[in-house]
Structure 1
């Protein structure tokens, strides 16, 4: 039989519901929070539970107050006193007893509530009913306060779900009709009025305005949206009237991903939590056995049976590990909640603790340290016209996710060039892309792709190859049809983010890219990186090997936008994906998702992770120290039961409140 520390069912219901949700198939899991939110424990249920707990706590204290009045101020009729103490025992003892019996019967585990009930009953059995009532009243108050406090950290899922509007204005043949958001499918068009929340992910079809994206990305500055720009569910239209074309249904939307990540994170245990559970399970059983054996020890030392039982009950309360076990979850849950509201999603406490210990941060260049909004700077066609050459290249890159492909498509669109139809398209990471058109196979890529096809660099393109811009060669078989150059710019926040990471001390930074050294050097210099921190000309396997090498110095975090990064993200100790800007593959492979494109959030997340580690150490030191002091006092100083209760419950509340300080971390406000 195992031991449990879910005091009064504080965490049992949520954890069981979360585990049931995680057991669902992936497809069903995405929609489960929408149709089955009650399974996860809605905020309304939390409030009802809080209200019931508050009423019982008040009644328990009313009974204790009357008992105290009789004992120290004014004697009351014996019947009234017994009724008052009985009220305290019923309202303060039955809820934890019920939870303890349910834990033993259903889950085969000892609940810490059982220790409190046993101690109170033992006190009453030796004629110290008032002391037992004090124990139950303080325990009930502590439990109620903890329930309310930890509820704030555990309501991250419900808070995300409440961001979703229930209806949307869908444009159709019959005009604009208000429909449930669940009925929207990709391709539908919805009208967004000023002040309205975006119902689902989509793309602006017409109109322009500013959106508040702070609910998703944590960024407070409004973002201007124009036709073609993406919009995310739950963001707010501040001005203008927008027509938005739906690109994702409700089950796969941005908020659905956030709900899934946060729910999984709350169910996953960090190493500290696993240790806390391991320690507590064994220790609680030892407390029960030790308290029982202590009765014999007190009897042998000359105490009467009643006095020995009283001191054993005091020892039982003093040695209960409530504070030790709640120390880690209080901090972890608060940090996860604060990070989620600040636009950073951790996939569990292990990722949070791992980020605090990272020694090396390895960054992919394109789309991570750079904007990913590269622009075509030169086009040189060796055969035919530039327009024909660009039409073929844009057709080949039509389905690629790479930022360079997006730049080529934008260039073609600006020149009003219609891309040619190219089929059987295949991506070759860190090399290029191949496909087939009406005349046969075509390819586009870097000098590696050039070598793979057996083609030779034409003299007319040698000058472009020597420049500091990214070179894209295009050919058919062994013939090179032309080339174009693309230039990217560093993100505005990248240099500050790198400085922030290095300011944390003992931190190495690496930039990795498949681009040429000249291109990488130009970007690295603008970011303030040294030459030995820049690694160019890499294949995906090379990135993995560099991560392996860096891991010899300590833990490694790899940060990428997802294109060609999945292997390195998975290999690193902590994988960080640019959540909204990155690909689905990266979001699944990573341990941490940055919902905004602001890399300063990474430095803020690391500060939060380190602060969480400090709070956990503080909590464990305080809780173990307080427990040791109470145990020694109960063994050698005849510590009264009420003082043991005060020390036990006070220590538990202190560590909870100390952990809840993380809810106000600056990551929620600014990077």
Structure 2
């Protein structure tokens, strides 16, 4: 008799609150790794998300993060966000400030050495810096040096040499800096939280003739979802019955509602504005487009950009170097001059000014803000590295069909002959082909206001088709076929053909009625996009297409691209991308994410059009434009360039202010006040500078 053990799934994902600094995140992760029965830990600082493989409770995880009051919630739980003014950190900082002010007033009325004034300064330091001291002393006992360790040494040192007032000011200003850093990271993460709140948690389902309200996790593929006017759509699916305008801004970034009729695809998180809809569910809740977007945005924020990797590496050597400089400043001049108090004070100021707080936060806050902003605009950027690379591209290659063009044929010209009007020409052609399923026939039929009765439809392979319309046989087909009937083809028809269009003659046995030209129509926005790219300094734009060179060159001439590579198979597009990279360096490829997959993968940045509902686009490309909207391309490049510029500015601010403050050591002017203002000022500057990325719009 065999027994089967039930295997419990131990991989769990949690949401975190109060995770405000990268050092705290690293320490929290290290503490979790040290717990028993832990196999794997992944902490995503940008998304404030934790994945653990192991047998561990929420209480144990919160104990591991107790040093920074990190709160842990199940992934699906509704996290209650505490307002800024109600946060523990904010309240403690406010009490610390009141005690500090009371101490300053008393010290001015009596003296700085007054025991009551010292008591008030000491209380201010304890209230505002208790958690910092506890963490700093624990780190010091393990020889781990981070910003809290540096601050702890500096404040305790200030108290030892009698600088109680300045020590209290340093603690208060550091507490403000920490609170603002926490606030800014929460602000940057709001873009993900707003995405998570888009899709309803419950859905009204029609199953086996019954109406049931249930959690979206319990909805099955094939269920019929009932969506009332004004409700959000809870699941991805296809409209079964009903017609309505649906606002898809949450997915595609497009604010104009799209009319949905039976057979149309709808997405979870979008808003049904007018009529009632019945939707056949096609995906489980974890596979919906919005779920994939959230997952990919979170993964993107976890991936470190090149500049962030540089900052992390730099910080590893920077902190020990600051400690060494502080000891040298305290010992060498103190030994030479004998004024130990002055130079120990200067050394403590070096520790304060050297805190890597601003440097460490300079890059992640910019990356998180930019990726979140892009997601709200309907642009999915799948990592900091892709964000940075997009800001550095020198050339853009485009697939033609469906990217620069609409991807389906449209009638572009209708030129009547022998006294016929344009309306008669189109009407006769559309009536003759009313029974045809050919894409060119559909393109003509769309332009006809009224169809005449027809019968006896016949297609002639390689030539065209004919039918009886109004008692006369009307032919529509190639120019060569018309010539077989001894009809003379006008020169303008030849010119249209040379311009890359499909030209058809419409004729009776003895008379040419006219010619109609059909082509894969250019997107109206394409020429403007190419012009904007040139204005942005990207002068090299290349069209890659499998079309005939004549057609490709004609379209390229209209759009304004600088280079054309025609007659290409998918593998040829891959080779073309590699050649372009040798010629221009960094090259972006824009395509539909399906037949362009090899070229998208090989390019410096692969950008897929129409990511909404297209799994291939979401998975193949580095960036997905969720709407089928090329207008988002200049916005994405502009956002990436601004992010790069802000990251560089942040690193310069973070280091520049510290260098200026450290130079004040030479004349002996550096004080703890100046040191903490330099550190806090740098932190505030980089945070406010990074939050400017929220304002970048399409």
Q: Which residue, 492, 498, 513 being the options, matches 2:524?
A: 492
2:569 corresponding residue in structure 1: 539
Change (3 A) 1:663 1:11: farther
Residue 609 in 1 paired to residue 635 in 2? no
Change (3 A) 1:352 1:301: same
1:423 corresponding residue in structure 2: none
Shift of 1:491: 2.8
| Cα-to-partner distance string for 1:546-603 (whole Å, 9 max, x where unaligned) | 1111112120001111121111111111111125357423322211111111111111
| Cα-to-partner distance string for 1:519-541 (whole Å, 9 max, x where unaligned) | 333433442335xx222210112
1:71 corresponding residue in structure 2: 107
Shift of 1:78: 5.2
Shift of 1:96: 2.3
Q: Which residue, 52, 77, 88 being the options, matches 2:88?
A: 52
Residue 90 in 1 paired to residue 90 in 2? no
**C-alpha distance in 1 between matches for 2:190 and 2:653:** 27
| Cα-to-partner distance string for 1:628-648 (whole Å, 9 max, x where unaligned) | 110011343332211211122
Change (3 A) 1:660 1:50: farther
Residue 257 in 1 paired to residue 310 in 2? no
Change (3 A) 1:99 1:566: farther
Change (3 A) 1:123 1:198: same
Change (3 A) 1:189 1:7: closer
Shift of 1:105: 8.9
Which stretch shifts more, 298-307 or 134-143?
A: 298-307
Which consecutive residues of structure 2, in runs of 5 or more, have no partner in the other structure?
A: 1-18, 30-40, 55-71, 413-432, 447-479, 484-493, 504-516
**C-alpha distance in 2 between matches for 1:159 and 1:212:** 16
DSSP 3-state at the match of 1:636: coil
Change (3 A) 1:101 1:373: farther
1:289 corresponding residue in structure 2: 324
1:514 corresponding residue in structure 2: 546
Change (3 A) 1:506 1:104: farther
Asked if the contact 1:569–1:590 (Cα under 8 Å) also holds between the matched residues in 2, the reply is yes
After TM superposition, list the pairs within 5 Å mapping 1:433-472 onto structure 2.
468=500
2:469 corresponding residue in structure 1: none
After TM superposition, list the pairs within 5 Å mapping 1:352-391 onto structure 2.
352-374=387-409
1:477 corresponding residue in structure 2: none
DSSP 3-state at the match of 1:511: strand
Shift of 1:47: 4.8
Larger radius of gyration between Structure 1 and Structure 2: 2
| Cα-to-partner distance string for 1:20-59 (whole Å, 9 max, x where unaligned) | 867889xxxxxxxxxx974599753565897111111112
Which stretch shifts more, 550-559 or 485-494?
A: 485-494
DSSP 3-state at the match of 2:521: coil
Asked if the contact 2:252–2:378 (Cα under 8 Å) also holds between the matched residues in 1, the reply is yes
Asked if the contact 2:155–2:167 (Cα under 8 Å) also holds between the matched residues in 1, the reply is yes
Change (3 A) 1:267 1:627: same
Shift of 1:141: 0.5
Asked if the contact 2:331–2:344 (Cα under 8 Å) also holds between the matched residues in 1, the reply is no
**C-alpha distance in 2 between matches for 1:290 and 1:76:** 30
1:638 corresponding residue in structure 2: 669
Q: Which residue, 586, 601, 608 being the options, matches 1:570?
A: 601
2:683 corresponding residue in structure 1: 652
DSSP 3-state at the match of 1:190: strand
After TM superposition, list the pairs within 5 Å mapping 1:55-134 onto structure 2.
55-73=91-109, 80-100=116-136, 110-134=145-169
Asked if the contact 1:17–1:39 (Cα under 8 Å) also holds between the matched residues in 2, the reply is no
After TM superposition, list the pairs within 5 Å mapping 1:141-152 onto structure 2.
141-152=176-187
What is the aligned length? Answer: 572
Which consecutive residues of structure 1, in runs of 5 or more, have no partner in the other structure?
A: 26-35, 378-385, 394-402, 411-458, 472-484
Asked if the contact 2:203–2:216 (Cα under 8 Å) also holds between the matched residues in 1, the reply is yes
Shift of 1:91: 2.4
Asked if the contact 1:5–1:112 (Cα under 8 Å) also holds between the matched residues in 2, the reply is no
Asked if the contact 1:319–1:630 (Cα under 8 Å) also holds between the matched residues in 2, the reply is no
Which stretch shifts more, 175-184 or 114-123?
A: 175-184
Asked if the contact 2:85–2:91 (Cα under 8 Å) also holds between the matched residues in 1, the reply is no
Shift of 1:302: 1.0
2:452 corresponding residue in structure 1: none
Asked if the contact 1:211–1:222 (Cα under 8 Å) also holds between the matched residues in 2, the reply is yes
2:24 corresponding residue in structure 1: 9
Shift of 1:336: 1.3
Asked if the contact 1:217–1:343 (Cα under 8 Å) also holds between the matched residues in 2, the reply is yes
DSSP 3-state at the match of 2:194: helix
Asked if the contact 2:203–2:215 (Cα under 8 Å) also holds between the matched residues in 1, the reply is yes
Residue 180 in 1 paired to residue 215 in 2? yes
Q: Normalising by structure 2, what TM-score? A: 0.74
1:153 corresponding residue in structure 2: 188
**C-alpha distance in 1 between matches for 2:90 and 2:400:** 54
Residue 592 in 1 paired to residue 623 in 2? yes
Change (3 A) 1:16 1:563: closer
Shift of 1:350: 1.0
**C-alpha distance in 2 between matches for 1:122 and 1:585:** 60
DSSP 3-state at the match of 2:363: helix
Shift of 1:264: 0.8
1:428 corresponding residue in structure 2: none
Shift of 1:653: 0.6
DSSP 3-state at the match of 1:544: helix
**C-alpha distance in 2 between matches for 1:342 and 1:12:** 34
After TM superposition, list the pairs within 5 Å mapping 1:158-557 onto structure 2.
158-374=193-409, 468=500, 487-530=519-562, 533-552=563-582, 553-557=584-588
Asked if the contact 2:608–2:624 (Cα under 8 Å) also holds between the matched residues in 1, the reply is yes
Alignment RMSD, CA only? 3.8
Shift of 1:320: 2.6
Asked if the contact 1:184–1:249 (Cα under 8 Å) also holds between the matched residues in 2, the reply is yes
Q: Normalising by structure 1, what TM-score? A: 0.77
Asked if the contact 2:112–2:165 (Cα under 8 Å) also holds between the matched residues in 1, the reply is no
Asked if the contact 1:362–1:557 (Cα under 8 Å) also holds between the matched residues in 2, the reply is yes
Asked if the contact 2:406–2:522 (Cα under 8 Å) also holds between the matched residues in 1, the reply is yes
